[in-house]
Structure 1
Amino acid sequence: MINNLDSLIIGNKKFNSRLMLGTGKYQTVKTAINSIKASKCEIITVAIRRLPTNLNFDNTNFLNHFDWKNLWLLPNTAGSQTAEEAIRMAFLGHELACRIGQEDNFFVKLEVISDPKYLLPDPIGTLKAAEFLIKKGFTVLPYINADPMLALHLEDLGCATIMPLGSPIGSGQGLKNITNIEIIIENSNIPVIIDAGIRTPSEVSLAMELGADAVLLNTAVAQSKNPEDMAFAMNLAVQSGRLGYLAGLMDKKQYATPSSPLNQISKINKLL
């Protein structure tokens, strides 16, 4: 069984859940809140660019509806086309964290995306922004293509995690580059979080079975027909895949082998 010793460590924070959820694309605030509760996740990500520029809090601000004693905010720099824009969003993200009582929260999901069609992350801009933010004390979680060499460079810079995409954002294409993801997991000494493109609980489970440390989802839950049920399913998938990985999967074989070998059957017959 998975126990409390199997926690997810990011920076200096410990989390029991290995599922993270985004807060965009839900039909209603109530649906978002109920889905997050159903998922039992402990980290939710919010796009800073989509929030009011003054960050004022009133009864209509959807952030007021969350229990920030049990949730950790992961501000993200979505919509930033340059390193400079992403850096500016990161500082606004920390300001937002302070407003909800998380003064020690310097987490940032770093996204630098200059490609408007496929929304693929910019590796050069990501490296540049990551280096600056790490020097300023941020806990940087960079969103990248499934590029093993880029992952190593970002780890060397001091990033807290690596977040390779499964496939393009919101595409629902699943894990399209498993080989590179496996290489990243094998070589990484920091948590690897699969982010973007996942559509189904089975894909979540597969990501965890490969050895990923966590999964971040948004569209797969928010755009499903029943987001609350889907969020619960994704929670179970993360747990199932993680437990399968820890249990140790059997080796693949080229040929069939009987589940009841003849020598065992002979031994049984002698006993009868």
Structure 2
Amino acid sequence: MHAAPLKIAGFEFESRLFVGTGKYLRGGEPDYELMRAALDASGCQVVTVAVRRERLYDPQGRSLLDFLDLKRYTILPNTAGCFSADDAIRSARLGRELLEGMNNRGAKWVKLEVLGDRKTLLPDPIETLRACETLLKEGFTVLAYSNDDPILARRLKDAGAASVMPLGSPIGSGQGILNPNNIRIILEDLKSGDAEYPVIVDAGVGTASDVTIAMELGADGVLLNTGIASAGDPVRMAHAMRLAIEAGWLAAQAGRIPRKLYASASSPMTDRIAPAAAK
């Protein structure tokens, strides 16, 4: 039994796990072989790539994209490291230019990320919405990274974002889902009258249980990077994340039992064997 396909902007994906390509290091240098092995173990079909040029090559001059099977993976260009709408728009255009010649269906996609400051790396809501509106006018398919703010999430969807991606916690923090109630509200609101609208939890995932929790809340998928790339064994952790996202989706579909204050016996309390009579 497997999760149903994830549908975004007319495309379908068997995997509901999106994985980033940054931070795979060995001896302090980028290790693209390790990245490739981890992506394979994760079972993902969408990978994010930060389009700033200095992150696309290792010290030997090899391109990160040379290590990705472009027939297997949909590349999702990412405006990581941008702190204004204008910077994010330029990065998105660069990503489109980079992928258009590679016949990859992610060429017109962008994971929009506009950060507010370097310490928290939290999204700037005003600049994010402004960039989203501009990129949509230019024909991009926008998957918008946002705070766990239901109002901003609604504004991004109304603007035309193909998916809203609320954070679980700050980027790279490994704190998991800090505000599950806001995630629930976002899901309830964005899916009201539009049950198929995809909401992807993004950022802060530290381990497999965080992925499962996000899916049990009702998310359609999870995007992560550091939780795999910076793990002690990235390939093994990637496999764990693959199992976790499937387990979480199945649990959400099955429906959990209600939480109760007191115990409820699993065996019937009637027709029990009578205790032996006292002698």
User: Higher helix share goes to which structure?
Assistant: 1
Matches within 5 A, 1:152-163: 152-163=154-165
2:97 alignment partner, SS class: helix
What SS is found at the alignment partner of 2:156? helix
Percent identity between matched residues is 49
Q: Is 1:239 aligned with 2:239?
A: no
Measured on the aligned residues, the alpha-carbon RMSD in Å equals 1.9
CA deviation profile, 1:199-222 (whole Å, cap 9, x unmatched): 010111111111111011111100
Corresponding residue number in structure 2 for 1:258: 265
Aligned amino acid, residue 180 of structure 2: I
Structure 2 Cα separation of the partners of residues 147 and 247 of structure 1 = 28
Question: Counterpart in 1 of 2:15?
Answer: 17
AA partner of residue 255 (structure 1): Y
In 2, Cα distance between equivalents of 1:104 and 1:18? 16
CA distance in 1, matches of 2:40, 2:54: 22
Q: Name the counterpart of 1:37.
A: 40
Specify every segment of 5 or more residues in structure 1 that has no aligned partner in the other structure, as ranges. Answer: none
SS in 2 for 1:162: strand
1:215 matched to 2:215? The reply is no
> Given residue 238 of structure 2, which amino acid in structure 1 is its aligned partner?
A
CA-to-aligned-CA distance 1:140-188 (integer Å, 9 cap, x gap): 1111110011111111111011111111110111111111011111112
Q: State the one-letter code of the partner of 2:203.
A: A
CA deviation after TM superposition for structure 1 residue 255, in Å = 2.1
Q: 2:143 & 2:64 partners in 1: Cα distance?
A: 24
Structure 2 counterparts to residues 1-272 of structure 1, below 5 A: 1-2=1-2, 6-27=4-25, 28-51=31-54, 60-102=62-104, 105-189=107-191, 190-263=197-270, 266=271
* 4+ residue runs over 6 A deviation: none
SS in 2 for 1:182: helix
SS at match of 1:237: helix
Structure 1 residues 234, 52: CA separation in 2 closer, same or farther (over 3 Å shift)? Answer: closer
Equivalent residue for 2:194? none
Secondary structure class of the residue paired with 1:224: coil
Distance in 2 (alpha carbons) for counterparts of 1:50 and 1:18: 28
Change in 2 beyond 3 A, CA 1:240/1:64 = same
Give distance in 1, aligned partners of 2:12 and 2:212.
22
- Give the AA of the match of 1:250: I
**TM-score when normalising by structure 1:** 0.91
CA distance in 2, matches of 1:208, 1:50: 33
CA distance in 2, matches of 1:33, 1:258: 48
Please list the CA deviations of residues 39-61 of structure 1 after superposition, one character each: whole Å capped at 9, or x if unmatched: 110000011124479x9xx9721
Unaligned runs of 5+ in 2: 26-30, 192-196, 275-279
- Matched pairs, number: 262
Local SS of the residue matching 2:178: coil
Distance 1:237 1:125 in 2: 33
Q: Using a 3 Å threshold, how does the CA distance of structure 1 residues 40 and 262 change in structure 2: closer, same or farther?
A: same
Contact 2:75–2:105 (CA under 8 A) maintained in structure 1: no
SS at match of 1:228: helix
Q: Which residue of 1 aligns with 2:28?
A: none
Counterpart amino acid of residue 223 in structure 1: S
Which amino acid is 2:114 matched to? V
- Describe the SS at the equivalent of 1:44: strand
C-alpha separation in 2, matches of 1:251 and 1:184: 22
Matches of 2:264 and 2:227, distance apart in 1: 38
Mapped partners of 2:268, 2:73: distance in 1: 51
